[in-house]
A = this chain, B = another copy of it.
Amino acid sequence: MKKMKRLALGLALGVCFSAFGVVTADRADAAGQARKVIVDDDGFGIAQWLLLQSPDVDVLGVAVVSGDFWRDEGVAQALRGLELAHRTDVPVLKGAVYPLLNSEKLTDRWEALYGKLVWKGAWMKRWVEPTAQAAPPYHAADVVPDLPEGNPTTKASGEPAVLFMIRKVHEFPGQVTIIATGPMTDLALAQRLDPSFAGLARELVYMGGSLNPQRVRNDLDAVQFAREFSNSPRREFNFRFDPEAASIVLRAPWRRIVAIPADPSTATELTPEFLRRLAAANPAFADVLKKRAPGFPLWDEIAAAVWLDPKLITKSEELYVDVNSQFGAGYGDTLSWQPGYQPDLDEQKETVVRTVDVRGLEQKIVDILSRRVPPAK
Protein backbone atom coordinates (compact mmCIF):
# COMPACT_ATOMS: atom_id res chain seq x y z
CA MET A 1 0.00 0.00 0.00
CA LYS A 2 2.87 2.32 0.84
CA LYS A 3 4.30 1.74 -2.60
CA MET A 4 0.97 2.58 -4.22
CA LYS A 5 0.63 5.81 -2.29
CA ARG A 6 4.08 6.82 -3.38
CA LEU A 7 3.11 6.23 -6.98
CA ALA A 8 -0.01 8.36 -6.62
CA LEU A 9 1.96 11.14 -5.02
CA GLY A 10 4.56 10.86 -7.75
CA LEU A 11 1.85 11.11 -10.38
CA ALA A 12 0.54 14.28 -8.81
CA LEU A 13 3.70 15.94 -7.60
CA GLY A 14 6.05 14.82 -10.37
CA VAL A 15 3.97 16.70 -12.89
CA CYS A 16 3.45 19.51 -10.42
CA PHE A 17 7.04 20.25 -9.48
CA SER A 18 8.25 19.88 -13.02
CA ALA A 19 5.87 22.61 -14.16
CA PHE A 20 7.91 25.12 -12.23
CA GLY A 21 11.13 24.13 -13.95
CA VAL A 22 10.00 25.54 -17.28
CA VAL A 23 11.73 28.91 -17.05
CA THR A 24 15.16 27.53 -16.19
CA ALA A 25 15.06 24.97 -18.96
CA ASP A 26 14.01 27.60 -21.48
CA ARG A 27 16.94 29.79 -20.60
CA ALA A 28 19.53 27.04 -20.86
CA ASP A 29 18.22 26.17 -24.28
CA ALA A 30 18.23 29.69 -25.64
CA ALA A 31 21.88 29.99 -24.63
CA GLY A 32 23.09 26.65 -25.91
CA GLN A 33 20.96 25.98 -29.02
CA ALA A 34 21.29 22.29 -28.16
CA ARG A 35 19.12 19.78 -30.01
CA LYS A 36 16.54 18.49 -27.57
CA VAL A 37 15.93 14.76 -27.38
CA ILE A 38 14.08 12.24 -25.26
CA VAL A 39 15.17 8.62 -25.52
CA ASP A 40 12.56 5.92 -24.92
CA ASP A 41 14.16 2.49 -24.74
CA ASP A 42 13.77 -0.94 -23.16
CA GLY A 43 17.19 -0.79 -21.53
CA PHE A 44 20.25 1.42 -21.60
CA GLY A 45 23.45 1.19 -23.57
CA ILE A 46 25.95 2.78 -25.88
CA ALA A 47 23.21 4.59 -27.84
CA GLN A 48 22.23 6.62 -24.79
CA TRP A 49 25.85 7.43 -23.96
CA LEU A 50 26.31 8.70 -27.52
CA LEU A 51 23.51 11.20 -27.04
CA LEU A 52 24.62 12.17 -23.53
CA GLN A 53 28.24 12.71 -24.64
CA SER A 54 27.37 14.77 -27.71
CA PRO A 55 28.11 18.44 -27.08
CA ASP A 56 25.18 19.97 -28.96
CA VAL A 57 22.55 17.65 -27.58
CA ASP A 58 20.25 18.25 -24.63
CA VAL A 59 18.95 14.90 -23.39
CA LEU A 60 15.79 16.02 -21.62
CA GLY A 61 15.09 12.61 -20.18
CA VAL A 62 15.66 8.88 -20.47
CA ALA A 63 12.38 6.96 -20.59
CA VAL A 64 12.26 3.22 -20.05
CA VAL A 65 9.60 0.78 -21.29
CA SER A 66 9.37 -3.02 -21.03
CA GLY A 67 10.80 -5.01 -23.94
CA ASP A 68 14.18 -6.73 -23.87
CA PHE A 69 13.87 -6.37 -20.09
CA TRP A 70 11.00 -5.56 -17.79
CA ARG A 71 10.71 -1.83 -17.25
CA ASP A 72 12.11 -1.82 -13.72
CA GLU A 73 15.25 -3.66 -14.76
CA GLY A 74 15.70 -1.20 -17.63
CA VAL A 75 15.20 1.67 -15.20
CA ALA A 76 18.04 0.32 -13.03
CA GLN A 77 20.25 0.05 -16.11
CA ALA A 78 19.43 3.62 -17.11
CA LEU A 79 20.12 5.00 -13.65
CA ARG A 80 23.44 3.18 -13.49
CA GLY A 81 24.34 4.25 -17.03
CA LEU A 82 23.72 7.89 -16.13
CA GLU A 83 25.75 7.55 -12.93
CA LEU A 84 28.72 6.22 -14.91
CA ALA A 85 28.39 9.10 -17.36
CA HIS A 86 28.18 11.58 -14.46
CA ARG A 87 24.86 12.72 -15.88
CA THR A 88 22.54 12.12 -12.94
CA ASP A 89 21.09 15.54 -13.80
CA VAL A 90 19.13 13.77 -16.56
CA PRO A 91 15.89 12.26 -15.22
CA VAL A 92 15.02 8.60 -15.72
CA LEU A 93 11.29 8.23 -16.38
CA LYS A 94 9.29 5.06 -15.81
CA GLY A 95 7.27 3.97 -18.82
CA ALA A 96 4.74 1.22 -19.38
CA VAL A 97 5.23 -2.18 -17.73
CA TYR A 98 2.92 -4.09 -20.09
CA PRO A 99 2.22 -3.82 -23.83
CA LEU A 100 -1.29 -2.72 -24.85
CA LEU A 101 -2.78 -6.09 -25.84
CA ASN A 102 0.10 -8.50 -26.22
CA SER A 103 1.15 -10.58 -23.22
CA GLU A 104 3.39 -13.43 -22.25
CA LYS A 105 0.42 -15.81 -22.22
CA LEU A 106 -0.72 -14.67 -25.64
CA THR A 107 2.80 -15.16 -26.96
CA ASP A 108 2.82 -18.74 -25.68
CA ARG A 109 -0.45 -19.40 -27.55
CA TRP A 110 0.90 -17.69 -30.67
CA GLU A 111 4.02 -19.87 -30.64
CA ALA A 112 1.86 -22.98 -30.26
CA LEU A 113 0.02 -21.96 -33.43
CA TYR A 114 2.70 -20.38 -35.61
CA GLY A 115 6.09 -21.49 -34.33
CA LYS A 116 8.74 -20.26 -31.92
CA LEU A 117 10.01 -16.71 -31.78
CA VAL A 118 13.81 -16.36 -31.76
CA TRP A 119 13.73 -13.56 -29.17
CA LYS A 120 11.00 -12.65 -26.68
CA GLY A 121 12.69 -10.10 -24.43
CA ALA A 122 11.38 -10.09 -20.85
CA TRP A 123 9.34 -13.23 -21.64
CA MET A 124 12.37 -15.23 -22.85
CA LYS A 125 13.06 -18.42 -20.94
CA ARG A 126 15.63 -20.10 -23.17
CA TRP A 127 17.06 -20.06 -26.67
CA VAL A 128 15.60 -22.66 -29.01
CA GLU A 129 19.10 -23.50 -30.31
CA PRO A 130 22.56 -23.21 -28.76
CA THR A 131 23.45 -19.53 -28.96
CA ALA A 132 26.60 -17.50 -28.29
CA GLN A 133 24.67 -15.01 -26.15
CA ALA A 134 23.88 -16.08 -22.60
CA ALA A 135 20.40 -17.26 -21.71
CA PRO A 136 18.66 -14.17 -20.33
CA PRO A 137 17.55 -14.39 -16.68
CA TYR A 138 13.78 -14.96 -16.63
CA HIS A 139 11.98 -13.28 -13.74
CA ALA A 140 8.80 -11.45 -12.70
CA ALA A 141 8.08 -7.88 -13.79
CA ASP A 142 8.89 -6.36 -10.40
CA VAL A 143 12.15 -8.24 -9.80
CA VAL A 144 15.32 -6.30 -10.50
CA PRO A 145 18.36 -8.59 -10.59
CA ASP A 146 21.79 -7.26 -9.63
CA LEU A 147 23.33 -5.53 -12.61
CA PRO A 148 26.75 -6.68 -13.86
CA GLU A 149 27.74 -3.00 -14.08
CA GLY A 150 26.78 -2.45 -10.41
CA ASN A 151 23.48 -1.34 -8.98
CA PRO A 152 22.46 2.32 -9.08
CA THR A 153 22.17 4.47 -5.98
CA THR A 154 20.06 7.14 -7.69
CA LYS A 155 16.30 6.94 -8.17
CA ALA A 156 13.93 7.37 -11.09
CA SER A 157 11.71 10.44 -11.36
CA GLY A 158 8.22 10.21 -9.87
CA GLU A 159 6.74 11.57 -13.09
CA PRO A 160 5.53 8.86 -15.46
CA ALA A 161 7.43 8.77 -18.78
CA VAL A 162 4.26 9.31 -20.80
CA LEU A 163 3.37 12.50 -18.93
CA PHE A 164 6.95 13.74 -19.08
CA MET A 165 7.03 13.36 -22.84
CA ILE A 166 3.67 15.09 -23.29
CA ARG A 167 4.80 17.93 -21.04
CA LYS A 168 8.09 18.41 -22.87
CA VAL A 169 6.63 18.60 -26.39
CA HIS A 170 4.21 21.26 -25.14
CA GLU A 171 7.03 23.12 -23.39
CA PHE A 172 9.21 23.11 -26.52
CA PRO A 173 6.81 22.82 -29.46
CA GLY A 174 8.47 21.59 -32.65
CA GLN A 175 11.82 21.16 -30.90
CA VAL A 176 11.87 17.76 -29.20
CA THR A 177 13.09 14.67 -31.05
CA ILE A 178 11.87 11.37 -29.69
CA ILE A 179 14.36 8.54 -30.25
CA ALA A 180 12.47 5.31 -29.62
CA THR A 181 14.61 2.20 -29.61
CA GLY A 182 12.29 -0.17 -27.77
CA PRO A 183 8.60 -1.14 -28.05
CA MET A 184 6.33 1.86 -28.63
CA THR A 185 3.88 1.43 -25.75
CA ASP A 186 4.74 4.76 -24.10
CA LEU A 187 4.43 6.72 -27.33
CA ALA A 188 1.07 5.12 -28.14
CA LEU A 189 -0.25 6.03 -24.69
CA ALA A 190 1.04 9.58 -25.08
CA GLN A 191 -0.67 9.97 -28.46
CA ARG A 192 -4.03 8.68 -27.24
CA LEU A 193 -3.82 10.69 -24.03
CA ASP A 194 -3.02 13.84 -26.00
CA PRO A 195 -3.85 13.83 -29.73
CA SER A 196 -1.48 16.79 -30.27
CA PHE A 197 1.56 14.89 -28.94
CA ALA A 198 3.11 13.63 -32.20
CA GLY A 199 2.46 16.88 -34.06
CA LEU A 200 4.17 18.90 -31.34
CA ALA A 201 7.37 16.85 -31.43
CA ARG A 202 10.11 17.79 -33.87
CA GLU A 203 10.38 14.24 -35.19
CA LEU A 204 10.33 10.58 -34.34
CA VAL A 205 13.48 8.52 -34.89
CA TYR A 206 12.91 4.86 -34.17
CA MET A 207 14.65 1.52 -34.32
CA GLY A 208 12.07 -1.05 -35.29
CA GLY A 209 10.67 -3.13 -38.07
CA SER A 210 12.38 -5.23 -40.68
CA LEU A 211 12.06 -5.01 -44.46
CA ASN A 212 14.35 -7.53 -46.08
CA PRO A 213 17.57 -7.89 -44.08
CA GLN A 214 20.46 -9.79 -45.66
CA ARG A 215 23.28 -11.31 -43.70
CA VAL A 216 26.47 -9.38 -44.49
CA ARG A 217 29.01 -10.71 -41.99
CA ASN A 218 30.29 -14.27 -41.72
CA ASP A 219 31.15 -14.72 -38.05
CA LEU A 220 29.20 -17.01 -35.72
CA ASP A 221 27.25 -14.18 -34.08
CA ALA A 222 26.14 -12.78 -37.42
CA VAL A 223 25.06 -16.23 -38.57
CA GLN A 224 23.09 -16.72 -35.35
CA PHE A 225 21.44 -13.30 -35.42
CA ALA A 226 20.32 -14.07 -38.99
CA ARG A 227 17.91 -16.58 -37.39
CA GLU A 228 15.77 -13.55 -36.55
CA PHE A 229 15.07 -12.69 -40.18
CA SER A 230 16.06 -15.62 -42.40
CA ASN A 231 12.57 -17.15 -42.28
CA SER A 232 10.69 -14.07 -41.12
CA PRO A 233 12.13 -11.02 -42.88
CA ARG A 234 9.25 -8.81 -41.73
CA ARG A 235 9.52 -9.68 -38.02
CA GLU A 236 11.45 -7.52 -35.57
CA PHE A 237 11.27 -7.56 -31.78
CA ASN A 238 10.30 -3.94 -30.97
CA PHE A 239 7.28 -4.08 -33.27
CA ARG A 240 6.47 -7.67 -32.30
CA PHE A 241 6.41 -7.02 -28.55
CA ASP A 242 3.64 -4.42 -28.89
CA PRO A 243 2.24 -4.44 -32.44
CA GLU A 244 -0.85 -2.37 -31.59
CA ALA A 245 1.24 0.37 -29.99
CA ALA A 246 3.57 0.50 -32.99
CA SER A 247 0.59 0.77 -35.33
CA ILE A 248 -0.90 3.63 -33.31
CA VAL A 249 2.43 5.47 -33.26
CA LEU A 250 3.28 5.01 -36.94
CA ARG A 251 -0.14 6.33 -37.96
CA ALA A 252 0.11 9.44 -35.77
CA PRO A 253 0.70 12.81 -37.47
CA TRP A 254 4.42 13.32 -36.80
CA ARG A 255 6.14 16.14 -38.67
CA ARG A 256 8.91 13.73 -39.66
CA ILE A 257 9.77 10.08 -39.08
CA VAL A 258 13.15 8.43 -39.55
CA ALA A 259 13.05 4.63 -39.36
CA ILE A 260 16.00 2.38 -38.64
CA PRO A 261 14.76 -1.14 -39.34
CA ALA A 262 16.87 -4.26 -38.77
CA ASP A 263 18.22 -3.99 -42.33
CA PRO A 264 21.20 -1.64 -41.88
CA SER A 265 22.26 -3.41 -38.68
CA THR A 266 23.35 -6.65 -40.36
CA ALA A 267 26.56 -4.97 -41.57
CA THR A 268 27.43 -3.90 -38.02
CA GLU A 269 28.60 -5.82 -34.96
CA LEU A 270 29.81 -5.15 -31.46
CA THR A 271 32.83 -7.43 -32.02
CA PRO A 272 35.29 -8.19 -29.19
CA GLU A 273 37.78 -6.01 -31.02
CA PHE A 274 35.40 -3.07 -31.32
CA LEU A 275 34.41 -3.47 -27.67
CA ARG A 276 38.11 -3.30 -26.66
CA ARG A 277 38.50 -0.17 -28.76
CA LEU A 278 35.53 1.41 -27.02
CA ALA A 279 36.72 0.34 -23.57
CA ALA A 280 40.07 1.98 -24.26
CA ALA A 281 38.36 5.20 -25.33
CA ASN A 282 37.13 6.34 -21.94
CA PRO A 283 37.89 5.15 -18.40
CA ALA A 284 34.35 6.13 -17.33
CA PHE A 285 32.82 3.37 -19.42
CA ALA A 286 35.75 0.93 -19.57
CA ASP A 287 34.70 -1.47 -16.80
CA VAL A 288 31.18 -1.85 -18.12
CA LEU A 289 32.24 -2.29 -21.72
CA LYS A 290 34.82 -4.93 -20.76
CA LYS A 291 32.01 -6.95 -19.16
CA ARG A 292 29.57 -6.49 -22.03
CA ALA A 293 28.74 -9.52 -24.20
CA PRO A 294 30.02 -9.06 -27.75
CA GLY A 295 28.34 -10.09 -30.97
CA PHE A 296 25.25 -7.85 -31.07
CA PRO A 297 24.39 -5.80 -34.15
CA LEU A 298 24.50 -2.05 -33.46
CA TRP A 299 20.71 -1.58 -33.61
CA ASP A 300 20.10 1.36 -31.29
CA GLU A 301 23.55 2.85 -31.88
CA ILE A 302 22.65 3.34 -35.56
CA ALA A 303 19.50 5.22 -34.58
CA ALA A 304 21.38 7.56 -32.24
CA ALA A 305 24.32 8.02 -34.63
CA VAL A 306 22.34 8.82 -37.79
CA TRP A 307 20.33 11.38 -35.84
CA LEU A 308 23.58 12.95 -34.65
CA ASP A 309 25.10 12.77 -38.12
CA PRO A 310 22.75 12.01 -41.04
CA LYS A 311 25.77 11.77 -43.37
CA LEU A 312 26.29 8.26 -41.98
CA ILE A 313 23.23 7.17 -43.96
CA THR A 314 24.43 5.72 -47.28
CA LYS A 315 21.05 4.63 -48.58
CA SER A 316 17.51 5.46 -47.54
CA GLU A 317 14.12 5.59 -49.14
CA GLU A 318 10.73 7.15 -48.55
CA LEU A 319 8.15 4.56 -47.59
CA TYR A 320 4.81 4.37 -45.86
CA VAL A 321 5.07 1.96 -42.92
CA ASP A 322 2.60 0.27 -40.57
CA VAL A 323 2.52 -2.85 -38.43
CA ASN A 324 0.30 -5.89 -38.76
CA SER A 325 -1.82 -5.91 -35.61
CA GLN A 326 -3.91 -8.92 -36.61
CA PHE A 327 -3.36 -11.88 -34.31
CA GLY A 328 -2.30 -14.42 -36.92
CA ALA A 329 0.90 -15.74 -38.43
CA GLY A 330 1.96 -12.20 -39.34
CA TYR A 331 1.22 -10.57 -35.96
CA GLY A 332 3.67 -7.70 -35.49
CA ASP A 333 5.13 -7.96 -38.99
CA THR A 334 6.27 -4.80 -40.73
CA LEU A 335 4.03 -3.52 -43.52
CA SER A 336 5.54 -1.06 -46.01
CA TRP A 337 4.52 0.55 -49.27
CA GLN A 338 6.11 2.70 -51.94
CA PRO A 339 4.20 6.00 -52.02
CA GLY A 340 0.88 5.53 -53.78
CA TYR A 341 0.43 1.91 -52.69
CA GLN A 342 -0.41 2.61 -49.02
CA PRO A 343 -4.02 1.90 -48.01
CA ASP A 344 -4.36 5.46 -46.67
CA LEU A 345 -5.41 4.57 -43.16
CA ASP A 346 -3.27 7.40 -41.78
CA GLU A 347 0.07 5.73 -42.52
CA GLN A 348 2.88 8.31 -42.58
CA LYS A 349 5.70 8.69 -45.07
CA GLU A 350 8.97 7.79 -43.36
CA THR A 351 12.63 8.11 -44.26
CA VAL A 352 13.69 4.49 -43.98
CA VAL A 353 17.42 3.89 -43.53
CA ARG A 354 18.58 0.94 -45.63
CA THR A 355 22.39 1.07 -45.26
CA VAL A 356 24.90 3.06 -43.24
CA ASP A 357 28.62 3.86 -43.48
CA VAL A 358 29.84 1.19 -41.05
CA ARG A 359 33.41 2.45 -40.61
CA GLY A 360 32.16 6.00 -40.23
CA LEU A 361 29.63 4.80 -37.66
CA GLU A 362 32.25 2.97 -35.63
CA GLN A 363 34.58 5.97 -35.72
CA LYS A 364 31.73 8.25 -34.67
CA ILE A 365 30.95 6.02 -31.69
CA VAL A 366 34.62 5.92 -30.65
CA ASP A 367 35.00 9.68 -31.04
CA ILE A 368 31.94 10.55 -28.98
CA LEU A 369 32.56 7.98 -26.24
CA SER A 370 36.14 9.29 -25.98
CA ARG A 371 34.95 12.71 -24.82
CA ARG A 372 35.67 13.29 -21.18
CA VAL A 373 32.63 12.88 -18.93
CA PRO A 374 31.72 15.91 -16.78
CA PRO A 375 33.07 16.03 -13.21
CA ALA A 376 31.14 13.83 -10.78
CA LYS A 377 28.33 15.65 -8.96
Contacts and interface: CB of A to CB of B under 8 A. Distances in A.
Interface in A300-326: 325-326
Nearest to A13: B19
Q: Is the interface of A mostly helix, strand, loop or mixed?
A: helix
Given A96-B192, A345-B106, A101 B11 contact: no
A287 to B, nearest CB: 34
A183 to B, nearest CB: 12
A166 B8 contact: yes
Protomer copies = 2
Contacts of A13: 16, 19
Nearest to A108: B345
Interface residues of A, number: 49
A12 B16 contact: yes
Contacts of A244: 100-101, 244
A88 interface: no
Contacts of A200: 4
A84 interface: no
Interface in A159-188: 160, 162-163, 166-167, 170-171, 173, 185, 188
Given A192-B100, A345-B106, A11 B4 contact: no
A98 B18 contact: no
Given A5-B170, A173-B1, A345-B103, A192 B11 contact: no
Contacts of A19: 9, 12-13, 16
A244 B327 CA distance: 12
Nearest to A160: B193
Given A15-B16, A98-B195, A101-B248, 5 more contacts: A4-B170, A4-B200, A12-B167, A101-B325, A193-B193
